[in-house]
């Protein structure tokens, strides 16, 4: 069956959506000897697909790893200045994985790594992005009007933000803890939204991506996803079932030695 080459390449573990698009743009991919371009289709059963002259590797077995990213680590594979990256925190793995989305240097929490490009594409699908939930400790206590503005959309230089769910969890003297659920993933979005309403972020923690929850994974710790978590992640975006997986998550938790 013919499929878009991006999908075939991603499934073979050749990278994220951006990564495989780059391979196609560079002309590194050939189908039956002819250079393929973005948008081309092929049948992996019938056609001979090569990447940089090498036949397409057999589909790598999928890996799914959750990291509780601490502050101070960059979401990048290599930093030209030699600063710590999230890859420094991963255990040795049998295949190359990539992060699904990014967290800022100063943001903590849930970061998913996989070599399953098709799943990564689904999770980051423009327009239909999965929910991302954050806890944000902010300076000052937002007024009801500020909370409404955050929910309805905040004017940022590149345009108004989409509707979001925002809840004041608790006041902490002259500061506050908020819970925000977004379907967008613009650069430093939570920080910029909160700054725009006059409440700079002091600490930001991502606690959920779609159906996947951070749970009690400690900072810097990683664990593999359960089969059930992988299955549910692949389904259309939604809120996690009540009380989901808490026990299983703890059982599968693995600390780096
Ligand atoms: N919003 C931010 O401001 N930073 C992140 O890392 C993620 C969301």
Query: Using CA atoms, how far apart are residues 256 and 67, in angstroms rounded to an integer?
Result: 11
pLDDT at 243: 41
pLDDT tens digit string along 187-200? 999 999 999 999 99
Domain count, the chain: 2
Q: Examine the pLDDT at 141 and tell me if it is beyond 70.
A: yes
Q: Are residues 108 and 31 in the same domain?
A: no
C-alpha separations of 216 from 221, 240, 248 in Å? 10, 16, 11
Look-up of token digits 């549910």: 232
Distance CA 9, CA 28 (A): 12
Residues 133 and 253 in one domain: yes
Q: Specify whether 35 is located in the same domain as 127.
A: no
- Is residue 189 in contact with ligand 1, taking CB distance under 6 Å? yes
> Is residue 88 annotated as a catalytic residue, yes or no?
no
Residue 172 Cα to ligand 1 midpoint, Å, equals 22
- The answer on 210 and 90 residing in a single domain is yes
Atom of ligand 1 nearest to the CA of 107: 6
**pTM here?**
0.76
Range of the structural domain that residue 253 is part of: 60-236+243-257
Are residues 98 and 215 both part of a single domain? Answer: yes
Q: Are residues 9 and 77 in the same domain?
A: no
The answer on 202 and 153 residing in a single domain is yes
Side-chain-facing half-sphere of 35: CA atoms under 13 Å: 8
Distance of CA 71 from the midpoint of ligand 1 (Å): 12
Q: Check whether residue 36 and residue 101 sit in a common domain.
A: no
pLDDT tens digits along 77-130: 999 999 999 999 999 988 889 999 999 999 999 999 999 988 888 887 766 679
């Amino acid at each position: 069956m013919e499929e878009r080459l991006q999908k075939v390449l991603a499934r073979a573990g050749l990278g994220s959506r951006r990564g495989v698009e780059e391979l196609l743009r560079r002309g590194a991919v050939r189908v039956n000897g002819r250079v393929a371009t973005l948008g081309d289709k092929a049948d992996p059963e019938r056609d001979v697909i090569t990447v940089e002259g090498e036949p397409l590797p057999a589909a790598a077995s999928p890996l799914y790893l959750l990291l509780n990213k601490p502050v101070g680590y960059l979401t990048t594979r290599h930093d030209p200045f030699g600063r710590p990256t999230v890859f420094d925190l991963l255990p040795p793995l049998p295949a190359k994985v990539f992060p699904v989305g990014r967290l800022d240097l100063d943001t903590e929490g849930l970061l998913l790594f996989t070599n399953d490009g098709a799943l990564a594409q689904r999770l980051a699908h423009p327009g239909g992005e999965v929910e991302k939930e954050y806890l944000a400790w902010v300076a000052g206590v937002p007024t009801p009007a500020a909370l409404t503005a955050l929910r309805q959309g905040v004017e940022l230089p590149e345009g108004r933000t989409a509707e979001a769910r925002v809840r004041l969890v608790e006041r902490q003297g002259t500061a506050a803890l908020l819970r925000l659920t977004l379907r967008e993933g613009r650069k430093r979005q939570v920080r910029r939204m909160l700054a725009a309403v006059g409440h700079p972020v002091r600490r930001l923690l991502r606690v959920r991506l779609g159906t996947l929850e951070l749970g009690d994974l400690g900072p810097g710790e990683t664990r593999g996803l359960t089969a059930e978590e992988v299955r549910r992640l692949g389904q259309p975006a939604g809120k996690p079932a009540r009380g989901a997986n808490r026990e299983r998550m703890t059982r599968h938790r693995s600390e780096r030695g």
